[in-house]
Structure formats: C-alpha cells, structure tokens
Amino acid sequence: MPSTLEDIRQKLRNMADPESAAHSLRFFKTGEGQYGEGDVFLGIRVPVLRKIARTFKGISLDLCAGLLESPYHEERMFALIVLANQFQKAGPKDQESIYHLYRDNTRYVNNWDLVDVSAPVIVGGYFMDKNPRPLVDLVKSRNLWERRISMVATWAFIRRGQPDLTFRIAEILICDTEDLIHKAVGWMLREAGKRNLPALEEFLRRHYKKMPRTMLRYAIEKLDDERRRAYLKGNV
C-alpha cells in the first residue's frame, strides 16, 4: 500500500524519545535569539532516521515537501535524507526535480545538521556538471543557512578532486560574521587540504591573517604541529 504523510509521521512519533528531545533543544541552540530559535524535536537520532528512511525510500516528492514543512526537526531531517538517497540513484530529470524542490524550500533547511546531511549530495551533486554560478550567488544570501549550503555543497567537488570552487566560495565568506559559517568554511578548507595540501597552503598564506580564529583552527587542524603553531602565531 502506498505510504501517506500520516503513515510516516506516525512511524516517527512511535520512535520519539522525550529525554533525547530535551537534550536536542539545548544542543541545537533553540532559545530566544539563538540560531535554532523555536525549533522543536521528537528526539530521534540520525541513524534511526536513516533506517526508517530506507523503509520509505520510494515516497513521492510531494510527501517529502509536506514533511519539510513540519515544525519537527526530525521530520525535516527525514525528508532530506530521503531526498538525498533518491538523488543519488536518480537520472538527470529526476535529479533536477529534487534539486528544485530543495532550492524552493531552503527556508525549512534551517539548522546546520539539516544543511550538512543534504547540501553536498543534492546541491553539490546537481552542479557537478553545470555552471556553479547559482551556487556562488547563494553566498550573498542574507539567510545563514543558504550561505552554509553554498559552502558545504562544495564537498561534492572536493571528493571529485576539484577544490577550486571551495576556495572561491571560502574567499567570499572570510568576512562573514556568523560562527556557523566560520566552522563550515574551515571544515571545507580542511577537507580540501586533505586532497590538495599545496592549494590549501597557498590559500592560507593569502588569507590566514584576516580569517576568524575558529575558521583558521578548523582549516589547519590536519597540518603538522609546527605549521599549525606558525599560522596561529602569524609567523608564516
């Protein structure tokens, strides 16, 4: 029998854990003025969501869209996991549909874990064989999460041995004021450096003095101790 929105929601409700939900409220900074303000949780861990997602792997994009609009964090996460899984197995036409659904609903991809589970696969994957200019333009968004999407999506390019887009977007975001962007940029720079250390070092030599401290620490995490100390002390 085809699944309905209520079938999925009931399945997720059955897995809810109030104690875990209370922890998530604190962990994801849901207080007034914090980045996750107003978010609510069922208390379901990601591995459990991934397992349930395999059960409902063939659900329609309309159902995914309905789940993305949910006030519950885990329902949005579930939808994004399903979409990412479907994208990886879809042909070009269906991939385009998934991407546009995602792009039209980024207002619901509104926490760092939601971005990180979906942007590399769906957004990065979509632009792998296309002009990435829309991805670069997304960096200019006033929405914190859209800027993080633009950065984290480049992980798909890094994995293909193509870090140039990562460095291009990172350079634009160096002056961003949000800590969650600093972490995302540093993380992607670190991943790029694992595959092309000379390119990372060249980027750092040009920019490390103006990089926020958190961004720099993330970016140099895998360098040897001597190089890390040199960057942190400004002696490169």
Q: What is the pLDDT of residues 51-85, one digit of tens each?
A: 999 999 999 999 999 999 999 999 999 999 999 99
Separation of alpha carbons 219 and 163, rounded Å: 14
How many other β-carbons are positioned within 10 Å of the β-carbon of residue 137? 10
What SS3 state is found at 72? strand
Tokens of 112: 């760092």
CB contact at 8 A, 126 and 99: yes
Q: 């997304």: which residue's tokens? A: 138
- Start-end of CATH 1.25.10.90 domains in the chain: 1-118
Residue 2's pLDDT is what?
Answer: 58
How far is residue 190 from each of residues 163, 180, 187, measured CA to CA in Å?
A: 11, 15, 5
- Start-end of CATH 1.25.40.290 domains in the chain: 127-236
Question: Which parts of the chain have pLDDT scores under 70?
Answer: 1-2
Residue 36's pLDDT is what?
Answer: 94
Tokens of 185: 């940029």
In terms of CATH architecture, what is 1-118? Alpha Horseshoe (1.25)
DSSP β-bridge partners for residue 40: 72
CATH code, residues 127-236: 1.25.40.290
